Chains A and B, each alone.
Chain A
Amino acid sequence: MQTMSHRLLPRFADGMGRAFLALILVFLYLPIAVLALMGFNESVHYALPFEFSTKWYEALAGNDRLLTASFNSVWIAVANTVIATVIGTMAAFALGRFRFRGRTVMQLLLFPPITIPWLIIGTAMLVLFFWTGVGRGLHSMLLGHVALSLPYVIIVVGARMASFGPELEEAAASLGATPVQAFWRVSLPVLMPGIVAASLFAFAVSFDQFVISYFLAPPGTSVLPVEIFSAIRKGFTPEVNAISTIVIFVSMGIMLAFARLSKFGGER
């Protein structure tokens, strides 16, 4: 596999391409930058002109409720990501690699969870959990989060799988590898970027999930998105920006560390 850079377009277009990507990034980060900046703005009403102040971060330090909620969000999201990525990837692999009766139906079944507004699913879950005695609680939230993340994981990993035929594994098999070996040493590395992308989505789905969390959280416990949503009623102050900014930086840190440890951009 050569890494000879090909010229699909002349060099000029190369620079254009990078500029375009840069513009996209500016677009993606514009509200994030505003979000972060407003955490340092004096005005409680988000009014401009901008006046620097750290008071919101100070207030945040004493805001137990927000801090506990953030912590809850993180560990639920981590648990969710691990579970959803593992069982989702397994399912995606089977759906992509094997032909069997009911395969199409199973693929179609991924649509209801992403089509039907989470509000409906949340209410339905709440009712069912109530009737079956599962009740509200952190375990219910986790049940709900994984359920919502699974379609994303399966679709994303599935897309990656669809881009690679079974030839690689067949080649490995013809060289004497068992199916399991073929999977670990050939399929998995090739799927890795898809799996990583899927796990990042799963984390995002859980971490930012407020509808399901809202319905299923036990009274008294909370997660960050719910706290933020409730704060909107009372007084949505820039403290919320402060915690969101912190979360972004911490996430960035985690992701960079993760990137150092694994080469998931793909071999080519």
Chain B
Amino acid sequence: MRKAGLLTTAAMALALSAGMAQAEELHVLNWQGYGTDEAWAMETFEAATGVTVVHDYFNSEQEMLTKLRTSPGAYDVILINSAFTQQAADEGLIQPIDTSRLENFAALSPGLRDAPDLSYDGEVYGVAWTWGLTSIAYDTTEVDPGTSIDILWDPQYAGNVGLRDDSVENVAIAAIATGQNMNDPADMDLIREKLRELKPQIRTYWSSEDEWNKEFSADSFDVSVYWSGSASRSATAFNLPVGFFIPDEGAIAWLDGLSIATDAPNLDAAYAFIDYMDSADFYVRWDTEAGAPASANPSAMDMLPDTAFNKVVLSRPGATDHLQFMAPLSDEKREEFLEVWEETKAYFAE
């Protein structure tokens, strides 16, 4: 591990040794608390390259897009979920990636690295970084989970189920529960019904990891839809009794990539930073200290102990058989999903 660390650092320094000015900055746009702003990571990067990392955050993908559209030249590296990469590329907000400039690119898991959603018009626009699952989390002290997604509808947990306030996610859950393709459900009416059946189950929605932690600690729910990386964090960093499993029917998988903005002011530093983010060095420390989703870099995953949260979840036999990856959705589809969800919420509120 030491050797990989030194190599990465040397690589970064080399990558930046050409044409460096003083007091350089790298502007990153990401969710808050999602890896790129780990204090030690920014320090390591600065020590190796002399570049200070400055962050701006967003709270929703729409916001990320709005910020990109209205602040040209303000950002270098942006975190873009693979369901949005093509849209951003189509709007000319991000530039094609020159993968030869990335040391770690070739070593990434081919399935993720070459994911079609990360490309547009024959070029790579997003570098696979992390991937994770949205599945079922539960209170290990109170719940015996079983293996089915129908646990969310189990009357035993009435009033004790937490759902995220997210239309795409909830339509997807209902789709999986009714055996449909979550990115293109054939029978929306079935989904509407399935969602409505959740009425007695839900007490409150959560919309951020922090809210989830607070609600979980206050015992608002015992079973919930949640993200794998966040569950790992809640268990590791916050010592909450969180269990996580992938149901037989399947779960939602998502892939996050790092992209470079069209008018990125500091291109060299951007490539160096992305390389660092995809390094085993960074990932192992991130997951160990804070908890993280799975890395796109298989050697990074190998370096984790077998008891690491994500490894345990993914190693259950058949776990990854029925995963559905989030795909780009047209505006119309998103609006349709949103309408279904809003109607459902209005129904829940009656």
Q: Which of A123, A219, A232 contacts B210 (CB 8 A)?
A: A232
A233 at the interface (CB under 8 A from B): yes
- Complex: A233 Cα to B218 Cα, angstroms: 18
| Cβ of A229 to closest chain B Cβ, rounded Å | 8
Separation of A130 and B68 alpha carbons in the complex (Å):
12
Q: B217 to chain A: which residues have CB within 8 Å?
A: 45, 47
Dominant SS among interface residues on chain B:
mixed
Complexed CA–CA distance, A139 and B70 (Å): 16
Q: Mark B48-85, 1 if CB is under 8 A from A, else 0.
A: 00000011110100000011011100110000000000
Say whether A233 contacts B71, CB under 8 Å.
Answer: no
Say yes or no: B208 contacts A219, CB within 8 Å: no
Contacts of A127 in B (CB 8 A): 70
Determine which of B33, B56, B70 lies in contact with A126 in the assembled complex, contact meaning CB atoms within 8 Å. B70
CA distance A240 to B317 in the complex (A): 44
* A136, CB-defined interface residue at 8 Å: yes
Q: With A and B bound together, what is the CA distance between A220 and B27 in angstroms?
A: 9
Smallest CB-CB separation from A229: which chain B residue?
B59
| B256: min CB distance to chain A, Å | 15
Given A45-B214, A47-B217: A233 and B57 interface contact (C-beta under 8 Å): yes
Q: Report the contact-size class of chain A (Cβ under 8 Å from the partner).
A: 20 to 34
Within 8 A of B (CB), among A42-57: 44-47
Say yes or no: is B87 at the interface (Cβ < 8 Å to chain A).
no
B75 touches A219 (CB 8 A): yes
Is A236 part of the binding interface, using a Cβ–Cβ cutoff of 8 Å? yes
Say yes or no: B74 contacts A236, CB within 8 Å.
no
Taking a contact as CB atoms closer than 8 A, the residue among A136, A220, A234, A236 that contacts B70 in the complex is A136
Interface readout for B193-218 with A: 1 if CB under 8 Å, 0 if not?
00000000000000011110110011
A and B contact pairs by CB, cutoff 8 A, 5 listed: A126-B70, A220-B27, A234-B32, A235-B33, A236-B214
A126-B66, A219-B74, A233-B33 known; 18 new pairs, CB 8 Å cut-off, are A45-B218, A47-B218, A130-B70, A219-B29, A219-B54, A219-B71, A220-B27, A220-B54, A229-B59, A230-B57, A233-B31, A233-B32, A233-B59, A233-B209, A233-B210, A234-B210, A235-B33, A235-B213
